[in-house]
Amino acid sequence: MRIVIQRVSEASVEIEQKIVAQINQGLLVLVGIEEEDNLEDINWLVSKIINLRIFADENEVMNLSVKDIDGEIIAVSQFTLHALTKKGNRPSYIKAAKPDIAIPMYEKFVQQLEAELGKKIQTGQFGADMKVALVNDGPVTIIIDSKNKE
């Protein structure tokens, strides 16, 4: 699994001109799933997301997690995170999991985030054409791949 975490002061997801998810301070997490990803990848990434110390403390040092600040999270599925661009100019998405694998994995990922954060996780809609808006706070953007955990 590959994720892109963006620290935001606000973010939203719009589908067919309707806001389906909206948060204030917290994280926008873009989620890419590969066919060989499993529960171990989900557990490791959820722990990283919940405990990543990227919010400022009283001394303006990035020392607090999203849980520490009682922040919110939007998780958006994004198969393009697994784009292969080595050959030519048209990306290949062959490494991205097909919906029959990706949808249950994405749903489990969101459930795990909710369990760890202790609150509802806002989401986009798998496979939909989404308009994602955000104010990246910092900016802080972090890419994590569960295949690079060692």
Domain coverage including residue 9: 2-148
User: Which is nearest to 113 in space by CA: 23, 34, 15?
Assistant: 23
Report whether 105 contacts 42 (CB < 8 A): yes
Q: Which of 80, 85, 123, 141 is catalytic?
A: 80
Residue 149 pLDDT exceeds 90: no
Query: Where residue 65 falls among pLDDT bands split at 50, 70, 90?
Result: very high
User: Over the stretch 93-133, which tens digit does the pLDDT of each residue have?
Assistant: 999 999 999 999 999 999 999 999 999 999 999 989 999 99
Per-residue model confidence (pLDDT) at position 103: 96
Element containing residue 32 per DSSP (H, E): strand 26-32
Per-residue model confidence (pLDDT) at position 61: 96
Per-residue model confidence (pLDDT) at position 25: 98
Per-residue model confidence (pLDDT) at position 7: 98
Per-residue model confidence (pLDDT) at position 38: 96
Domain count, the chain: 1
What would the mean pLDDT of 130-143 be, rounded to a whole number?
A: 97
43 is written with which tokens?
């557990």
Residues of the chain by 3-state class (helix, strand, coil), percent to 5: 25, 40, 35
Domain with residue 34: its CATH number is 3.50.80.10
Mean pLDDT of the chain: 96
85 is catalytic: no
Per-residue model confidence (pLDDT) at position 108: 98
User: Over the stretch 40-63, which tens digit does the pLDDT of each residue have?
Assistant: 999 999 999 999 999 999 999 999
